[in-house]
Structure 1
Amino acid sequence: MSDTARAVDGDGDPLSSAVVPTVGTVLSVITVAALLVPARHGVEEPALWIAAAGALLTTGAFLTRRHGILERRVAGPIAAGSSLLVVLLSGYAITQGVLGSIVVPGLEWSVSLLFCAFFVAAGSVGIGVADHAGVSGSGLKRRLGLTGEMLVLAFIGLFAISIAAILLSVPVQLLAGEPTEFQWTVIEYLAFAVGLGAVAAGYLAFRERDLSFLDLERPTLRTVGWVVGGLLLILGANLGISALMTAAGIEASEHTTTQQAAENPDLLLVIIPAMVLFVGPFEELLYRNIIQKSLYERFSRPGAVVVASAVFTLVHISAYATAGAGRILASLSLLFVLSLILGTIYERTENLLVPALVHGCYNAAIFLPMYF
């Protein structure tokens, strides 16, 4: 974070600087409770007890920071590191079918305490990083506000795709009747471009930004090198992480498009080129050039990459909702890592063309073997 950002945050105010570790303490206490309740009620999973110990360490780090016993440069990394351990361990337990569910009295709702621990601990990681960076309470509020705005924008993008699909299907229905599955697939990918493109253009207009905000450069040999290298990196990461998940006994869910293509391979004639022409370019336009770049205003660049990747992952929950909770979480975890790679490529090149091609070609490469 720059000195200007620190000044705006008001980091010199002792009361304001205590807000962040206080928030971290609250989150870590919630995490401890969410882990100990199922552990004490007979859930036999060693990862829970280790995760609970990590959450207690996080609580201690935030408390000592809150009372001035430890400096932020020491307490922040401890809190972030131990919270990350909690995220990994609770996530692993979930993929093994351990949910630690309880029924909310009076509502008869079943709530997974492990999912609660997973997400709250993920928030603690961010709070620990923020405290280490010297972010104040007011600075944290502004960052959370901007994150919320970007999350809303991402979900508006999903809604816009649906609206665009309905509008594009009208002339087809008027001219040829009810569209076939093949025609619907064409419509859906055209809607993908129209919907996300419209949201991106609308947000630029709302924020009074012109086309200069878009990072598009003429292709060069450097661009080709980044695309080839990025594609090899993201494919290698997919293979490596998938192998580790298999070795750990973790199963992932399938994307809804994968199931659709498996049932009707002819759709691959649309799906494969659409990944390069529509999905890669327009997802990167919204999630990287609009959302990630907008986050640069409040976050460090690495922080913006992480937050934008989290937004990208959350928006894709419905696409992987083809199996149980553990398998969905495994798929989303892989997607988050791959999104980090795309975000880093964009941050390093500052050229939308590079992550757009890497993303589109990667998706196409995943579906290509299904065609043969």
Structure 2
Amino acid sequence: MTETARADDTGPITSDVIPGIGTTLAGITMVAMLVPVRQGVDDLAVWAGVGFALAAVLAFLVRRHGGIERTIAGPIAAGSSVAVVLLAGYALNQGITASTSLPSVSLSIPLVFVAFVTAGLTAGVGVAESLGIGLVGFKRRTQQLAVLTGVGFAGLFAPEITTPVLTIPIIPFVESLSETELLVVSQVVGNLGMALGTAIIAVGYLRLTDRDRSFLDLRLPTAREVGWTVAGLIVLFGAVFAIDFVMQTVGVEGSDHATTQQAQERPELMLVMIPIAILVIGPFEELLYRNVIQKSLYDTFSRAGAVVTASVIFAAVHVSAYATAGLGAVIASLGTVFGLSLVLGTLYERTENLVIPALVHGLYNALLFANLYSLYG
């Protein structure tokens, strides 16, 4: 953890306020996981989720009243809450949502999903407690996390503005294009719009925070970094196989990426997506989510904490790409994205060279697109 981050980590109210926040969040998690039990759901994952949530509540309560040290309470609360995240995600994947209608409002809330989210937040509070982070440091991290999450989602929605702008010059030629040509052009323009929108958000954030081009870690890879690239690609595919194996073993089903559906309908589009992956998708996604967001998190988080936090943001912004199935399947797929992002974030943290994760990311996607073409072409 950097010295800047340590400067406001301590304080006389550390042992009271942070456990209080954790107790509240863990309590909400426990209540949300109890709802399906009250509805008659007899599922081991749900019961286990209730038990782990209770363990987090007790850890924070006992810590708040001085019964145990933060170095014990924090890890117990964090570990228990991570277990609830996994169990709630599994329950959602199995169709257990415990949806509850709000009074006087035609809106239904899946409480198991609420537990999934609050358990994730509780895990973060547990880590803060275990590290002895004070209220000022906690607030500073929370504020930066909120800002950078906004930056991440801005990068997701910016192409909605830039892509139509890039489309204007080709409108007069649309009628002369065949259906296949039109699809190819739309893919190219759409990804260029993503690149432009992402670049605008990245540059805008750097200027607003008084950073210049020196903040960008761009340089030719060394021989050692080429080794990191090869190793990273191998680890990335290894992680995918491991995650898929675990998901299949426990009976968890993910959702297909929107590109998979495109490949089934128009496999020739994958030939266009292969160079786009290397030249556009990898470089520009890594620019925003690694060099801008992850590196900015170094100001207040430890290096490991920044990698994990940036990966949560990276996974969250991919929700629209996997929204091809139910909530539980989407969460399972985002879990895979999170795991892959950890690898990319570690590559960037180790090399401090944006080219390495950008290249690994682009090559990984390109190989996936090539595989889709071989399957459906």
The structure-2 alpha-carbon separation of the partners of 1:5 and 1:240, relative to structure 1 and needing over 3 Å to count, comes to: closer
Aligned with residue 182 of structure 1, among 166, 180, 184:
184
Q: Relative to structure 2, which stretch is displaced further, 348-357 or 203-212?
A: 203-212
Quick one: distance in 2 between partners of 1:245 and 1:35? 22
Structure 1 length as normaliser, TM-score? 0.96
Query: In the alignment, what sits opposite 2:114?
Result: 116
Q: Among all aligned residue pairs of Structure 1 and Structure 2, give the percentage whose two residues are the same amino acid.
A: 51
Quick one: distance in 2 between partners of 1:312 and 1:18? 32
Query: In the alignment, what sits opposite 1:88?
Result: 86
Quick one: distance in 1 between partners of 2:218 and 2:32? 46
- The answer to whether 1:258 aligns with 2:260 is yes
Preserved CA contact (<8 Å) 2:36 2:96: no
Aligned with residue 200 of structure 2, among 198, 207, 213:
198
Task: Count how many residue pairs are aligned between Structure 1 and Structure 2.
Answer: 370
**Corresponding letter in the other structure for 2:349:** E
- The answer to whether 1:6 aligns with 2:10 is no
Preserved CA contact (<8 Å) 1:18 1:137: no
Alignment partner of 2:7: what SS? helix
- The answer to whether 1:226 aligns with 2:228 is yes
Alignment partner of 1:107: what SS? coil
Quick one: distance in 1 between partners of 2:192 and 2:87? 41
Aligned with residue 129 of structure 1, among 123, 127, 130:
127
Quick one: distance in 1 between partners of 2:332 and 2:157? 25
Preserved CA contact (<8 Å) 1:17 1:135: no
| 1:92-127 superposed Cα distances (whole Å, 9 cap, x missing partner) | 111111111111121131111110111100111110
Alignment partner of 1:318: what SS? coil
Query: In the alignment, what sits opposite 1:217?
Result: 219
Query: In the alignment, what sits opposite 1:367?
Result: 369
Query: In the alignment, what sits opposite 2:44?
Result: 46
Query: In the alignment, what sits opposite 1:236?
Result: 238
Offset of residue 175 of structure 1: 4.2
Quick one: distance in 2 between partners of 1:111 and 1:301? 35
**Corresponding letter in the other structure for 1:12:** G
Quick one: distance in 2 between partners of 1:97 and 1:178? 47
Quick one: distance in 1 between partners of 2:22 and 2:282? 36
- The answer to whether 1:319 aligns with 2:314 is no
Offset of residue 65 of structure 1: 0.9
Segments of structure 1 that go 5 or more residues without pairing to the other structure are: none
Alignment partner of 1:265: what SS? coil
| 1:209-247 superposed Cα distances (whole Å, 9 cap, x missing partner) | 111101112122112111110000000110111121112
The structure-2 alpha-carbon separation of the partners of 1:187 and 1:178, relative to structure 1 and needing over 3 Å to count, comes to: farther
Offset of residue 16 of structure 1: 4.4
Segments of structure 2 that go 5 or more residues without pairing to the other structure are: none
CA RMSD of aligned residues (A): 1.4
Alignment partner of 1:111: what SS? strand
**Corresponding letter in the other structure for 2:110:** S
Aligned with residue 249 of structure 1, among 242, 247, 251:
251
- Dislocated runs of 4+, deviation >2 Å: 1-9, 174-179
- The answer to whether 1:102 aligns with 2:104 is no
Preserved CA contact (<8 Å) 2:290 2:348: yes
The structure-2 alpha-carbon separation of the partners of 1:4 and 1:204, relative to structure 1 and needing over 3 Å to count, comes to: closer
